Chain A
Amino acid sequence: MLSGIKTRLSNVRTIKTLCESAENYALQDQQRQAGAEHFLLAAIDLPDNTARLAFREVGADAAGSRDAVGAQYREALRSVGVNAGEHISGGLIPEPLQAAAGLYEAAPSGAEVMKELAANRNDHRPLLGAHVVAIVAAMEQGVAARALRCMGVDPAGLKAAANKFSRTSNRHTGPMGA
Chain B
Amino acid sequence: MIDVRQLPTPDEPEEALAAVVALRRAADLLERRAVRAALKQGWSWAKIAQALGISKQAAHKRLSDINAQDNPP
Tell me the A residues contacting B by CB distance below 8 Å: 30-31, 72-77, 79-82, 84, 87-89, 93-95, 97-98, 141, 143, 146
Contacts and interface: CB of A to CB of B under 8 A. Distances in A.
Main secondary structure of the interface of A (DSSP, over half): loop
A31 B15 CA distance: 22
B3 interface: yes
Interface residues of B, number: 23
Contacts of A30: 25, 28-29, 32
Contact of B15 (A74, A79, A84, A143): A79
B26 A80 contact: no
B49 to A, nearest CB: 20
A88 B26 CA distance: 6
B14 A77 contact: no
A87 B25 CA distance: 12
B6 A88 contact: no
Interface centre among B14, B18, B22 (most CB of A within 10 A): B22
Contacts of B30: 88
Contact of B19 (A31, A79, A87, A97): A79
A146 B15 CA distance: 10
20 contacts: A30-B28, A72-B18, A73-B25, A74-B22, A75-B18, A77-B22, A77-B23, A79-B18, A79-B19, A80-B19, A81-B2, A81-B3, A81-B6, A82-B2, A87-B73, A88-B26, A89-B22, A93-B73, A94-B73, A95-B72
**Nearest 7 CB-CB pairs, A to B?**
A76-B22, A81-B6, A76-B18, A95-B72, A81-B3, A80-B19, A73-B22
Residue from the set A72, A82, A87 with the largest chain B CB neighbour count within 10 Å:
A82
B6 A80 contact: yes
Given A77-B19, A89-B26, 12 more contacts: A30-B32, A74-B22, A76-B15, A76-B22, A79-B8, A79-B15, A80-B6, A81-B3, A81-B6, A87-B29, A87-B73, A97-B65
A151 B53 CA distance: 39
